[in-house]
With several copies, the nearest count.
Chain A
Amino acid sequence: RADDTGLTSVARADLEAMLAAHTGETRFTPPGPAIDPASLKDKLIFTIPTSTAIPFCDVVDKQMDEFAHKLGIRHEVWQTTAQLGQWVQGFNTAFAHKADLINVACGLDPATVAPQIKEAISKGIPVVAAHTHANGQTQLEDLTGIVYGAYIDAAKLEAAYVILKTDGKADVLVITAPSTANSPYIEKAIMGMFKQYCPTCKVRSAGVNAADWASKIGPTVQSAILADRSLDYVIPIYDGMVQPVIPAIITTGSSARVKVATFNNTPAVLDMLRTGDIVTFESGEDTTWLAGAILDQDMRVLLKQPLVKNYVVGIRAFTKADVAAAGVPAKFGVGYGDAARKGYEALWGLK
């Protein structure tokens, strides 16, 4: 049965299945054949994140430390505050410490440190980009391996949720961050979903650079709400953008009408989902899975085994109904279950 807006029952079923697959604890599937990390004892893996002030990066790094400890691998994380000089120093320190592998992690665009990556490769040190790319994104040739961020899956989930929630009558503002390399791919994935499942939905996007989020997202959302009285969803592609969206919705007196769906499962935003009524949907990666995936890919590189292609980790979507599973108040890494940890331990032959 097709309803008035053209959301066919096939489409509805597709979308519902997509959401269902990401509801509840993550279901681990081994990315490839098992490996034997015994020969990697005391190898040094060196991780350089965009900024260690980003709590998400910090949690993944800690989880990696934990795995590495069990594996007998040394893992060092370089403390940075999103400054080029510090990233460069990170590479040099990795060289000085005779690292066996370098992870460029957590949103640090490999392009900004391309010369350093080239140097590492020329020194025979492999470089893995961990959680920086969206699937399908063009990548630096020099990179040895990649673990993708689950940006595209998340983007599709947001779109699916919004289409279902509005019965195919969505009127959406997507907020992107043009200066981030994966942003255009995320945007494309969202737009693609709407085109495929809900061509009559109204979708537009506005780009605001990370540096301007606090000051410019507000006016952007406000003017969009007032210019379009039927706007009903705002999709900030990262949940770091949510904070200034909320007051823009409240001041325009449209908190009953305009809702937010977003990505990354930042605890504070999950708390907004739990306690407020504006954020209604959020998904995010299983941090244990992500930490395991990065180490797994790293070890495959070091063991010279075939790498996992399109390595993406599982995400969990939360709505008000089940957000309590993420903790009260929410915490990083809570609510994904134990499957990823057990899965990797089995894959690596621990225990």
Chain B
Amino acid sequence: MNVSGPTSPAPREVAATRQNAVARFCHRFALLFAWALTIVLFGVLEPDSFLQLQNFTSIFNSQAVLVVLTCSLVVTLTSSEYDLSAASVLSLSAMLIAILNTQQAVPIGWAIVVALLAGLVVGAINGILVVVIGVESIIATLGMGSLVSGITLWISHSNLVSGISNTLVELVIVPRFFGISLGFVYAVVIVAALWFFLTYTPLGRQLLFVGRGRRIARLSGLPVGKLRFGALMAGSFLAAVAGVLYAGTSASADPNSGDSFMLPAFAAAFLGSTAIVPGRFNAWGSFAAVYFLVTGIYGLSLMGIQVFIQNLFYGGALIIAVALSIMVRRSETREPDIAKEGN
């Protein structure tokens, strides 16, 4: 059957909407260029100390926890849910491992299993609140975050717990190949798996549809509730994995250990959504964002620059990257209407 012909509506100038491939490429990889630029900049400023292989392995090794926590946020953000309890789950997971392993003499393997299960339980409760009852995710997870923190404080009597089995430490932080630790390998594997999941599996695409248009997804036959529930559980699970890496990195757990990761993780997820697949939360974009931010901060620390500059760098990088990305996309595609501009 072919129904096209002279009767079809007038064709519009396609060239204009088809985006300029070069501009698009630049946009996709702008964050990587910025990262490269940061490296060159600090390489010039600190030629002796910055441009050493060991520096880079150290940058890579030290951020596995943040990368995995960011992945957790990418999953939930893709389904348009905010998970503010992720950091608390990280703390809980690390603390469970510490307490079970050091105070209850539970073998480290089982302790990890319990920690991951705890992540799934929190995810399930989030799911019940958000999907079944219908509480907005930002509210439900704000509340759950507070509850989970309370539990972590409770089981730890608010104490730092140290002395986690060296097995875990070996498996996470100790450098192996060319100075790269297994923790970084896990983080890369998780990022790659997430990228594959979101890009190349039906489930990942379905999650995107659920995030962009819940009603449409449902009418298209997607099990929207299950997908949202699943995303919240997967997000909490990944946060718990980040907690395991934390425990392995520090061989100890602090009841508030997760808190300081929350802002960097959200910043990296947002920043990452301007790169690689601009406009979508995506795994490699977030990965690049984490290491761009960390490299910048690392270089600043290396130069002995005061801490407040780090805050300025963080905030400035996020704002500028996102603002530029929006302006580029606007000029690439058609002119926005006034309402989109929001005037």
Contact = CB atoms under 8 A, between A and B. Distances in A.
Nearest to A221: B301
A219 B303 CA distance: 12
B62 A53 contact: no
Interface string B295-321: 001111110111110100000000000
Given A53-B153, A88-B173, A252-B54, A214 B254 contact: yes
A83 B251 CA distance: 15
Contacts of B254: 112, 179, 214, 243
Contacts of A114: 162-163, 169, 250-252
Nearest to B46: A227
Contacts of A211: 256, 259-260
Contacts of B49: 93, 96-97, 223, 226-227
A37 to B, nearest CB: 24
Contacts of A219: 62, 294, 297-298, 301
B59 interface: yes
A269 B162 contact: yes
Contacts of B19: none
Contact of A112 (B159, B252, B261): B252
A84 B249 contact: yes
- Best-buried of B162, B166, B248, B260 by chain A (most CB within 10 Å): B162
Interface stretch (B10-18, B75-83, B110-118, B174-182): B174-182
A88 B65 CA distance: 12
A265 interface: no
B297 A86 contact: yes
Contacts of A210: 256
Interface string A69-100: 00000001111111111101110110111000
Nearest to B297: A219
Nearest to B302: A223
Interface in A144-190: 178-181
A85 B52 contact: no
A44 to B, nearest CB: 11
B255 interface: yes
Contacts of B161: 268
B340 interface: no
B301 A89 contact: yes
A22 B248 CA distance: 34
Given A181-B160, A251-B175, A268-B159, A226 B52 contact: yes
Nearest to A253: B175
B310 A79 contact: yes
B58 A92 contact: yes
Nearest to B180: A251
A79 B306 contact: yes
A164 B29 CA distance: 53
A114 B253 CA distance: 11
A195 B158 CA distance: 25
A58 B246 CA distance: 26
B92 to A, nearest CB: 15
Nearest to A79: B301
A209 B261 contact: no
A206 interface: yes
A252 B52 CA distance: 12
B62 A208 contact: no
Interface stretch (A4-12, A13-21, A271-279): A271-279
Contact of A115 (B54, B55, B157, B251): B251
Given A240-B160, A246-B251, A96 B52 contact: yes
A253 B179 contact: yes
Nearest to A52: B307
A216 interface: yes
Contacts of A271: 102, 162-163
Interface string A187-207: 000000000000000001011
Interface of A: 51-55, 58, 76-86, 88-90, 92-93, 95-97, 109, 111-116, 118-119, 140, 178-181, 204, 206-216, 218-220, 222-224, 226-227, 240, 243-244, 246-248, 250-253, 266-269, 271-272, 275-276, 329
Given A81-B310, A92-B57, 12 more contacts: A79-B310, A82-B260, A84-B246, A84-B257, A93-B49, A113-B250, A116-B173, A209-B256, A219-B298, A246-B252, A272-B162, A272-B163
Query: What are the 6 A-B residue pairs with the smallest beta carbon separation, nearest first?
Result: A92-B58, A111-B162, A178-B158, A268-B162, A214-B260, A79-B301
26 contacts: A52-B307, A77-B304, A78-B301, A79-B304, A79-B305, A79-B306, A83-B264, A84-B260, A109-B162, A111-B252, A114-B162, A119-B174, A179-B159, A179-B160, A208-B307, A210-B256, A214-B256, A214-B259, A227-B302, A244-B250, A246-B250, A247-B62, A266-B160, A267-B159, A268-B252, A329-B103
Interface of B: 46, 49, 52, 54-55, 57-59, 61-63, 65-66, 102-103, 153, 157-163, 166, 169, 173-175, 179, 181, 246, 248-252, 254-257, 259-261, 264, 294, 297-302, 304-308, 310
